[in-house]
Amino acid sequence: MVQTLSQTVVLPIAGLVITYVLVAELIGMITDKNSLHDVDTFMFFKWFFKAWVAVFIVAHTFDITMAIFDVGHCHSTKNSENSKESGQQKKALSKKKSNDLEH
* Helix (H) / strand (E) containing 38: none
pLDDT at res. 71: 85
- 90 band by pLDDT with thresholds 50, 70 and 90: low
Coil vs helix vs strand at 61: helix
Between CA 74 and CA 81, with CA 76 as vertex, the angle to 5 degrees is 95
pLDDT above 70 covers what percent of the chain? 74
pLDDT at res. 31: 84
| 47: amino acid identity, one letter | W
Where b means 16+ CB within 10 Å and e means fewer, 42-52 reads eeeeeeeeebe
pLDDT tens figures, 16-41: 999 999 999 998 888 887 766 777 88
- Note if the pTM is more than 0.85: no
